[in-house]
Amino acid sequence: MSASLSLDRYLPPVDPARFRHVLGHVPTAVSVVTALTPQGPVGVTVGSFTSVSLEPPLVVFYGGLGSASVSAVVAAGTFCVNVLAEDQESVCAAFAARREDRFESASWEPGAGRAPRLLGALAWIECAVESSFLAGDHTAVVGRVRSLCAAEGSALPLVFYRGRLGHLHPAAFRDVATRHFDWWRD
């Protein structure tokens, strides 16, 4: 018997509104995932993007189950994750909306794998689609990283926190020895 089946007998179901509220306390970077299709460029704002593995280099993002943009990204076979900078709120809004003119909100250029790289982003991670699968009411898209780079400068990321877009304050940062964060290699 799996642990989740045995817990189901003892724990009440999780209320979706409470789930959203509590998980809203986990800040996430805002990204736009783009791809080039035969019909032209496509893109969608995502707030759920993370690394999966170093060997091989894998990342994952999650998009709404009914999203035509997510389906187009998977069909294209390659995509670029554009990590948005704090001054790109309008880009975030444009790619989150269901409209055809999303790419008019940002200047872009083709990346190494031809997927659009949005200018002004903090980082670009270009990937080949490794797999995609149903994950509740979302589609999980796993990408094998093929190329990546970070922008020069000191710009900070656009973040989503407690249901709103936000900014990190530069004074909140301090130097911390990274050896303290190498626990995952032991």
Where are the chain's structural domains?
Answer: 27-154
Paired tokens of 55: 């060997």
Is the pLDDT at 140 greater than 60, yes or no?
yes
Rounded mean pLDDT, 83-103: 93
pLDDT for 121 equals 97
Which residue type is seen at 121? Answer: A
Rounded mean pLDDT, 103-110: 93
Q: How far is CA 37 from CA 2, 24, 82, 138, 164, in A?
A: 42, 33, 17, 21, 31
pLDDT, one tens digit per residue, over 29-88 is 999 999 999 999 999 999 899 999 999 999 999 999 989 999 999 999 999 999 999 999
pTM of the model as a whole: 0.86
pLDDT for 168 equals 85
CATH 3.30.70.100 fits 27-154, yes or no: no
- What confidence tier does 177 reach under pLDDT thresholds 50, 70, 90? low
Edge-to-edge strand list for the sheet holding 138-150 = 40-46, 31-37, 78-83, 123-135, 138-150, 58-64, 49-53
pLDDT for 23 equals 84
Rounded mean pLDDT, 93-103: 90
Rounded mean pLDDT, 154-173: 86
